[in-house]
């Protein structure tokens, strides 16, 4: 249950009222809000006098639900907005990993030359093998910060575990919580304590409900700047790396108020399929599209087979633009 308290109640009083009914106190939509688990079906008598409005839920998708807030949330990334009513798809590009200053500068120049604003690049890579390239760590974050300075780009990079979450928060404009880290409560709780936007990628064996509940951790902890990212599920199919769950995207659009980004690069796993999938994604009217691109994919230190080269990335923009327009969207 979500309870909006009356405006005359301050934060301290709200915390006291929350304690009385064993609920959670947070601030949402600028109001003092109490949240309890979906077990609570009625406002307890003891607090009735303080209640302005309330919503009852039969599961723990609450702050993210359309029943609570029908309007899609807007998340500000620097001067750029993702979500809301703008009917725009934010194209996020860049390599899987930050590998060197030269390499990430090439990527930054590509984006700036195309009029794009948001550079991605991993510095702490959640690799399946301990012997693979693990990312440049803090050195990579400094390189991203340099690109932000030089080119005025927003940067998005991943927190792999809670040990370096504060470094990532400090140096990024959007914190990416990866598919493997999505269940990490240390990361989610740290993300809740900042106001930086958080992009949560869906785990590849995660139900939609679990996915949105991860977002609820961040929302209820005090950070309303949450973006969801579908990047493919593990199925019985082995010819593609994962299976992009577009049905799931339709469900999220119907039932949640969070901006949605799609990542066809990790889903497909092979660059040949990325442009056509990107068109399918954009046709759904989505808030963002995340595409991996590298100046020379064949020598990329991670995810080599799925990254577009820079000329393919430019062509992709030409290919998705008319699709976006056909559904009343623009690519930003
Ligand atoms: C990535 O974005 O490079 C990445 C590791 O993605 P995921 O967490 O979706 O596997
Ligand atoms: Mn990758």
Strand partners, 226: 198
* Rounded mean pLDDT, 16-40: 89
Residue 266 CA: nearest ligand 1 atom is: 9
Confidence of residue 38 (pLDDT cuts 50, 70, 90): confident
Q: What pLDDT does residue 30 have?
A: 84
Query: Using a 6 Å cutoff on CB, does residue 96 contact ligand 1?
Result: yes
Q: Give 82 Cα–ligand 2 centroid separation in angstroms.
A: 22
Query: For every residue of 279-292, which 3-state class applies, written as one string?
Result: HHHHHCCCCEEEEE
* Rounded mean pLDDT, 99-128: 97
pLDDT in tens, 211-258: 999 999 999 999 999 999 999 999 999 999 999 999 999 999 999 999
- Return all residues near 232 (Cβ < 8 A) that are at least 6 apart: 204, 241, 242, 243, 244, 245, 263, 266, 267, 268
pLDDT in tens, 132-156: 999 999 999 999 999 999 999 999 9
pLDDT in tens, 163-184: 999 999 999 999 999 999 999 9
Q: Are 56 and 41 in contact (CB under 8 A)?
A: yes
pLDDT at 1 over 90: yes
pLDDT at 196 over 90: yes
Q: Please tell me the number of the ligand nearest to residue 293's CA.
A: 2
DSSP SS3 for 143: helix
pLDDT in tens, 271-317: 999 999 999 999 999 999 999 999 999 999 999 999 999 999 999 99
Residue 202 CA: nearest ligand 1 atom is: 9
Query: Using a 6 Å cutoff on CB, does residue 231 contact ligand 1?
Result: yes
Confidence of residue 92 (pLDDT cuts 50, 70, 90): very high
pLDDT at 40 over 90: no
Q: What percent of the chain has pLDDT over 90?
A: 93
Confidence of residue 107 (pLDDT cuts 50, 70, 90): very high
pLDDT at 27 over 90: no
Residue 120 CA: nearest ligand 1 atom is: 2
Q: Please state the domain extents for the chain.
A: 2-55, 74-331
Q: Could you confirm whether domain 74-331 is CATH 3.20.20.70?
A: yes
Q: What pLDDT does residue 124 have?
A: 97
Query: Using a 6 Å cutoff on CB, does residue 122 contact ligand 1?
Result: yes
Q: What pLDDT does residue 200 have?
A: 98
Substitution candidate for ligand 1 out of 96, 118, 187 with most atoms within 8 A of CB? 96
Residue 263 CA: nearest ligand 1 atom is: 9
DSSP-derived pairing of the beta strands 88-94 and 118-120: parallel
Substitution candidate for ligand 1 out of 118, 122, 136, 267 with most atoms within 8 A of CB? 122
């Amino acid at each position: 249950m979500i309870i909006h308290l009356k405006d005359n109640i301050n934060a301290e009083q709200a915390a006291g009222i929350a304690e009385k009914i064993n609920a959670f106190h947070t601030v949402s939509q600028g109001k003092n809000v109490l949240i309890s688990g979906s077990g609570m079906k009625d406002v307890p008598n003891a607090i009735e006098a303080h209640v302005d409005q309330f919503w009852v839920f039969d599961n723990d998708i609450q702050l993210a639900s359309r029943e609570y807030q029908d309007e899609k949330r807007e998340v500000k990334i620097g001067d750029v907005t993702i979500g809301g009513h703008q009917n725009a798809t934010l194209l996020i590009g860049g390599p899987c990993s930050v590998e060197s200053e030269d390499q990430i500068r090439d990527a930054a120049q590509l984006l700036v030359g195309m009029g794009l604003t948001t550079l991605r690049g991993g510095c702490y890579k959640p690799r399946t093998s301990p012997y693979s390239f693990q990312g440049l760590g803090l050195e990579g974050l400094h390189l991203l910060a340099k690109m932000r300075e030089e080119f005025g780009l927003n940067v998005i990079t991943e927190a792999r575990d809670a040990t370096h979450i504060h470094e990532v928060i400090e140096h990024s404009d959007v914190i990416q919580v990866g598919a493997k880290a999505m269940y990490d409560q240390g990361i989610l709780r740290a993300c809740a304590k900042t106001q930086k936007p958080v992009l949560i990628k869906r785990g590849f064996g995660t139900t939609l409900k679990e996915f949105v509940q991860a977002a609820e951790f961040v929302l209820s902890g005090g950070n309303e700047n949450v973006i969801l990212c579908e990047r493919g599920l593990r199925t019985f199919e082995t010819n593609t790396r994962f299976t992009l769950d577009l049905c799931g995207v339709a469900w999220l659009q119907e039932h949640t108020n969070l901006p949605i980004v799609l990542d066809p690069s990790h889903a497909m796993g092979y660059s040949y399929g990325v442009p056509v999938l990107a068109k399918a994604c954009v046709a759904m009217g989505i808030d963002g599209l995340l595409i991996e691109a590298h100046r020379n994919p064949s020598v990329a230190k991670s995810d080599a087979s799925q990254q577009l080269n820079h000329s393919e990335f430019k062509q992709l923009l030409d290919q998705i633009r008319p699709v976006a327009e056909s559904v009343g969207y623009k690519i930003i």
